[in-house]
Amino acid sequence: MTATELNKKKGASVSYRIISWLRSAGPILFLIFWSIIALFPIYIILVNAFKNRNAIFKYPFNIPNAETFSLIGFETVNKRANFARYFTNSIVVTVVSLAITLLIATMASFALSRYKFKGATLLSLIFSIGIMIPIRLATVGILRLMVNWSLTNTLLSLIIVYIAQSLPMAIFILSSFMKQIPQELIDAARVDGASEYRIYWMILPLIRPALGAIGIFSMIPIWNDLWWPLILAPSAETATVTLGAQQFLGQYMTDWNAVLASLTMSIIPILIFYLIFSKQMIKSITSGAIKS
């Protein structure tokens, strides 16, 4: 083999290695790039919320230090807005809505996946249609209904709407997970004398990843929602943290310290919740991918 042929062979080998590396590393690099784009605005908000006004405009990308650190924005928010009430309202609405949604969804999914009865297919179709049709299309009808029930400016009106909004997706996901549970396990429990309720509670730990994923997918729209609080519960006593922050931003748009502080206070809880349940969501996604 001549030197020219040997160099060509080495060049082809190097090119092949580069192409193979790009194929394997390409998706990872794309995800890293996309993550940077998605997290950059959050980074800017969190970093600048703890700076004084001059540092926000002079060093917007730097982490606050001893000279630029300031809590004046949070002090302004605490003095001029009742964020404690907003947080309480959001927590009550979110927790109660999620708890009732998961309870109803798990029971409905257990019935749809394990029992054969007339109308089961129709019920599944109705829940699927609920995923495809946005609930906001029924805003006028829901508002009239809440007025007739005297539920306007109450947290109960928000809880009812959020349960109806979250149920279709929750039932759709949980039904597929419950169908994957071996029937032999349920038959063995029945032979041992377990009641249907006992079997239902026995199955719940087996679908924990799905419950974690539904918790994240349901909580984020509820916590960040501005539409329904603005329409059904816009009063100061029932305002959620998203609505309260929006109203605060409208009043103090030029006070950047207060604006960034209010945004930080509304972002941090959802970030903490996501970090807690992200493992369950990843398990849910990987479990579904492997079983499919």
Structure confidence at residue 4 (pLDDT): 57
Structure confidence at residue 292 (pLDDT): 42
Q: Across the strands, what pairs with 69? A: 51
Domain ranges of the chain: 3-48, 81-291
Of the given ranges (12-16, 206-210, 223-227, 270-274), which has the lowest mean pLDDT?
Answer: 12-16
Q: Give the residue, 33 or 126, on which the prediction is more confident.
A: 33
- Confidence tier at 252 by pLDDT (50, 70, 90): low
Q: What ranges in 61-206 are assigned the alpha helix state H?
A: 72-80, 83-114, 120-132, 139-148, 155-179, 183-191, 196-203
Q: Give the residue, 210 or 222, on which the prediction is more confident.
A: 222
Structure confidence at residue 285 (pLDDT): 60
Of the given ranges (13-22, 115-124, 201-210, 248-257), which has the lowest mean pLDDT?
Answer: 13-22
Structure confidence at residue 289 (pLDDT): 45
- Confidence tier at 284 by pLDDT (50, 70, 90): low
- Confidence tier at 7 by pLDDT (50, 70, 90): low
Could you give the count of Cα atoms lying within 13 Å of 197 in the half-sphere of its Cβ? Answer: 1
Structure confidence at residue 291 (pLDDT): 46
Of the given ranges (3-12, 79-88, 139-148), which has the lowest mean pLDDT?
Answer: 3-12
Contact 236, 151 (CB under 8 A): no
| DSSP one-letter code for 151 | -
Average pLDDT value for the chain = 82
Structure confidence at residue 92 (pLDDT): 94
Q: What is the pLDDT of residues 104-151, one digit of tens each?
A: 999 988 888 877 777 777 777 777 787 888 888 889 999 999 999 999
Structure confidence at residue 13 (pLDDT): 61
* Rounded Cα gap, residues 229 and 278, in angstroms: 27
CATH of 81-291, one of 1.20.1440.120, 1.20.120.430, 1.10.3720.10, 3.30.360.10: 1.10.3720.10
Structure confidence at residue 290 (pLDDT): 43
Q: Taking residues 218-222, report their average pLDDT.
A: 87
* Statement: residue 156 has pLDDT above 80: yes
Those residues whose C-beta lies under 8 Å from the C-beta of residue 257, and which sit 6 or more positions away, are: 49, 51, 52, 53, 56, 70, 72, 73, 76
Q: Give the residue, 12 or 33, on which the prediction is more confident.
A: 33
Q: Give the residue, 155 or 186, on which the prediction is more confident.
A: 155
